[in-house]
Amino acid sequence: MNNVLQVEYTPDKLATRISDMWVMWDSARNTWKSDKQELRNYLFATSTRSTSNAQLPWKNSSVTPKLTQIRDNLHANYMAALFPNENWFYWESTDKNQQVYKKRSAIINYMKQKLKASNFQLLISRLVYDYIDFGNVFVTHDYMRDVVGTTVRYVGPKAYRLDPHDVVMNPVADEFNNAPVVRRMLKSVGDFLHDIETKPALGYDKSVVNKVMEFRRELRDDAEMRKSTNLSIDGFGSIDEYLNSDMVELLEFWGNIYDPDTQKLYKNQIITVVDRMYVIRMKENENWIGGKPMYHCGWRLRPENLWAQGPLDQLVGLQYRIDHLENLKADVFDLIAYPVIKVKGNTVEEFEYSPGEMVFCGDEGDIEFLRPDATALQADIQINELMNRMEELAGAPKQAMGIRTPGEKTKYEVQTLENAAGRIFQHKVAWFERNIIEPIINS
């Protein structure tokens, strides 16, 4: 399953290989990134001029934000299902003796306080948006000590969202837990040095840090050296732009490494590369529960591919059609209200097109209004049908929108229909809870 990185276990070789892995796996998902950008354009568009509908020749450019409404609807209902009340968190034990019961109470009370103090629900809200927008959620955690002077604002475990654009993995691995992962981080030089000073647990090599800072000073002072340096960082057009931005790129590898020279397998390694040249950390993952301290959940799983599909991905084409029909109808209405005028002959006096205007035509002259077929004004029927179809395909039950299905029903029929209509929604909520909330809290 290609779950082991094969490379000589030396800093120079590792830095090059991990940088190449980032470029290779990030380039392999270019189509995915392009599709997500198109979806984002539709979600936040105020005019079709910023979407793929811009290629159509319509004069009107209104956007019907159906995708945006579905996104907000799914987010509101997912959050309501995940956090139905203040006492949403609990821990169960199979052992019922008194000692374990006391531990259970202590764990619940401690975690409730930490989850509330660290704004855990706000984090989950952002992760749910990733679940809807990207179809892929990544989360990790760290121990945080937020102290200002003598004021302790927060000390304890804290979960963090990982932007799906900043994580690459072997897409054909059997599961995320076994897949090698490279995480990209962009930090300012100040934040980078602050982390080294305040987070000794990171284990960054300070001699390499000095080398990184010296490399920057040399490149800033030597123009010829900048030209000869073969360094390409995502998001920066040149080495000059990268250095002048005062940013530092970190590539963090998590996984197993096999050294063919020594024939040794290094399990559960953490390798951090700076500027795609220097290895600032090489160590074994010390997480006591084993595995990577990061978790992934996909909305619609693909066969033989860890990059999942989101609920809105297949609805972009329907959104395109809705905007197409809406603006086509508006243009047809404009042509009916303000039709094109056909002037025949050369004996028609000049006139101003306005209500009540009198036009004098000679014997060989004539004026005719060219009005389009009004059938296009019935596009509302198709538009409503497309909107209802999109709602169902996204897995959002109609009852969640307050829409009552027609016909008289008994109490039992209502309950049966509600359960059946929300089955996809309930499954996706349970899937998110099982793959994100439960493991990150346990971890």
Per-residue pLDDT reduced to its tens digit, 53-108: 888 777 888 888 999 999 999 999 999 989 988 888 877 766 677 777 788 888 88
Q: Please check the confidence at residue 419 and state whether its pLDDT lies above 80.
A: no
Query: In terms of Cα–Cα distance, which of 403, 441, 436 is closest to 129?
Result: 436
**Number of CB atoms found within 10 A of residue 131's CB:** 26
Q: Please check the confidence at residue 127 and state whether its pLDDT lies above 80.
A: yes
Question: Confidence class of residue 410 from pLDDT cuts 50, 70 and 90?
Answer: low
Work out the average pLDDT over 313-330.
89
- Residue 264 pLDDT: 87
Work out the average pLDDT over 250-259.
89
Work out the average pLDDT over 121-146.
91
Question: Confidence class of residue 284 from pLDDT cuts 50, 70 and 90?
Answer: confident
Q: Please check the confidence at residue 376 and state whether its pLDDT lies above 80.
A: no
Token representation of residue 416: 């049966």
Residue indicated by tokens 């990544």:
138
Query: In terms of Cα–Cα distance, which of 443, 434, 440, 433 is closest to 79?
Result: 433
- Lowest-confidence pick of 141-145, 250-254, 409-413: 409-413
CB of 320 closer than 8 Å to CB of 52: yes
Residues 6+ apart with CB under 8 A from 227: none
Q: Please check the confidence at residue 398 and state whether its pLDDT lies above 70.
A: no
CB of 153 closer than 8 Å to CB of 147: yes
**pTM, entire model:** 0.84
Work out the average pLDDT over 187-207.
84
- Lowest-confidence pick of 294-308, 386-400, 420-434: 386-400
Order of all β-strands in the sheet with 151-162: 151-162, 136-148, 294-298
Token representation of residue 358: 């009198």
Q: Please check the confidence at residue 382 and state whether its pLDDT lies above 60.
A: yes
Work out the average pLDDT over 110-127.
90
- Residue 344 pLDDT: 82
Work out the average pLDDT over 230-234.
72
Mean pLDDT of the chain: 83
- Residue 280 pLDDT: 92
Question: Confidence class of residue 416 from pLDDT cuts 50, 70 and 90?
Answer: low
Work out the average pLDDT over 183-190.
90
Question: Confidence class of residue 166 from pLDDT cuts 50, 70 and 90?
Answer: very high
Work out the average pLDDT over 308-324.
91
Q: Please check the confidence at residue 354 and state whether its pLDDT lies above 90.
A: no
- Residue 312 pLDDT: 92
- Residue 289 pLDDT: 67
Q: Please check the confidence at residue 39 and state whether its pLDDT lies above 60.
A: yes
Characterize the bridge pairing of strands 305-309 and 294-298.
Answer: unpaired
% the chain with pLDDT above 70: 90
| Rounded-to-integer distance, Cα 30 and Cα 132, Å | 19
Work out the average pLDDT over 113-141.
92
- Residue 3 pLDDT: 75
Question: Confidence class of residue 196 from pLDDT cuts 50, 70 and 90?
Answer: confident
Chain center to CA of 407: 40
- Lowest-confidence pick of 32-46, 203-217, 347-361: 347-361
Give residue 316's identity as a one-letter amino acid code. V
| Rounded-to-integer distance, Cα 54 and Cα 52, Å | 5
Check residues 272 and 408 and name the one with the higher pLDDT.
272
